[in-house]
Structure 1
């Protein structure tokens, strides 16, 4: 997402800047707060075009205290998470079983409930889908590593990048450059790198597996309570699919239990990585 915005801004400045978007590792260095000097001048030009209210010096400086004070919601994931978990209580009697919210696209869902709001306070994360971008691309590696070291358990199930199902999905979405396969391999590598860095106490908290079956849903189960459900539509990218939130209810007969069963079945049939 960042690269796409960077490329658009670069085109408006100069054709010579085409293809200069930072790599994932380079972007991580930019956002880590550990740079000792500004990036190259061309990078600074593009960044200032992307964020016209800020200079490059300001973008790479520590966040001013007044911004933290003026916009607490953007920096208070625990409050966001509490709001999300209280959705069912606010809406009152729910005629749609345990489904508490629906979003037309994943982009609109991510805007309303960014990954940090979902995951920062999670003690248990189970996720199955295709490339698992929300976990591996939209949530910082170091943040995820700290979660696992602090006690969070993570089960991540990817569509097998060497399998037939991902090839079928690439044809369905119109990709001819192994885009989904390459992205999935990259995201699996993100988690396997984290796994190698675990402390002895955290060895059993991160497990990764793959499965080779027709992709139907992206399922994220958080704290054995919240389900984020995203179907895959024919001939449409995953980001264009709707997103449903379901909260486990006391009856044990809602949507949450249905998709927890689906996750468990997929996991049992998966192959450890």
Structure 2
């Protein structure tokens, strides 16, 4: 086994696909886009371990290589099973797709549903120590991550700061009109989610309550932003005339050695938080 990890292992870790269940879902998603006959052909857990440990003497079957090259655009199978380059090993890949640098972007999903099926909330948050989120209703945290896990996360020392679009403001009503809602769906959902986190906060020990902060803002919504441990950013634009669930999702990984998009979205979050009203 080589002392230097292979590229595939590091790319899986960077995209948070190293857990077998998440990898399997990402593999099937890529296979579906190549040919439906490839769905269900993912390697076993033991095979994946051999792939990522550098134990292979030759490349996997051609179909496996095709799917992997689709999962990691810009890298050939030979490169994926070869030693990891220094720039990728440092967490700052200089080449993640044809054409070169993608400014921190490590994954792109056409819809939020595609994103959560590949990177479920528990994979993002279970080991997090600092989570900052801004958006509309923050369903990723409030509806897709169980209350018990949220409580345990904060009780164990994590800090969670959540910024909602003000359910009593003008901006959320404008967004409802844009999405075609006439029953105040977004207003009611946002109020419900704020109540969910408020109840979680109320049940926390006194010395942990300050680690769960809630606030609202009343400005035109452009992005949903989740920042995790100062390293990972999930950015989801709000498109005209489209529900949030139908919008694309970008996953960014901060690269301290070079400028990128992480710092841009972090600045957006910070400015919104500074103008917000506590709940």
Counterpart residue number, 2:24: none
CA distance in 1, matches of 2:243, 2:253: 26
Question: Per the alignment, do residues 140 and 272 of structure 1 end up closer, same or farther by CA in structure 2, a change over 3 Å counting?
Answer: same
Counterpart residue number, 1:93: 94
| Equivalent position SS for 2:226 | strand
Shift of 1:203: 2.2
- Decide whether the 8 Å contact of 2:237 with 2:249 is kept in 1: yes
| Equivalent position SS for 2:115 | helix
TM-score, normalised by the number of residues in structure 1: 0.67
- Does 2:157 match 1:156? no
After superposition, the C-alpha distances for 1:80-130 in whole angstroms (9 at most, x for unaligned) are: xxxxxx9x6599433111111111110000000000000000000000000
CA RMSD of aligned residues (A): 1.9
1:247 to 253, 256, 260: 253
CA distance in 2, matches of 1:160, 1:125: 20
Runs (5+) with no aligned partner, structure 1: 1-69, 73-85
Shift of 1:200: 1.8
1:193 to 189, 199, 208: 199
CA distance in 2, matches of 1:203, 1:243: 31
- Does 2:126 match 1:125? no
Runs (5+) with no aligned partner, structure 2: 1-43, 47-83, 96-100
Counterpart residue number, 1:202: 208
Counterpart residue number, 2:110: 104
Question: Per the alignment, do residues 199 and 71 of structure 1 end up closer, same or farther by CA in structure 2, a change over 3 Å counting?
Answer: farther
Question: Per the alignment, do residues 194 and 252 of structure 1 end up closer, same or farther by CA in structure 2, a change over 3 Å counting?
Answer: farther
Question: Per the alignment, do residues 252 and 186 of structure 1 end up closer, same or farther by CA in structure 2, a change over 3 Å counting?
Answer: farther
CA distance in 2, matches of 1:162, 1:92: 43
After superposition, the C-alpha distances for 1:139-184 in whole angstroms (9 at most, x for unaligned) are: 0001100000000000000000000000000000000000000000
Higher helix proportion: 1
Counterpart residue number, 1:236: 242
Aligned residue-pair number: 190
Structure 1 moving runs of 4+ over 4 Å: 88-92
CA distance in 1, matches of 2:194, 2:45: 34
Shift of 1:220: 0.1
- Decide whether the 8 Å contact of 2:92 with 2:255 is kept in 1: no
| Equivalent position SS for 2:216 | strand
Counterpart residue number, 2:78: none
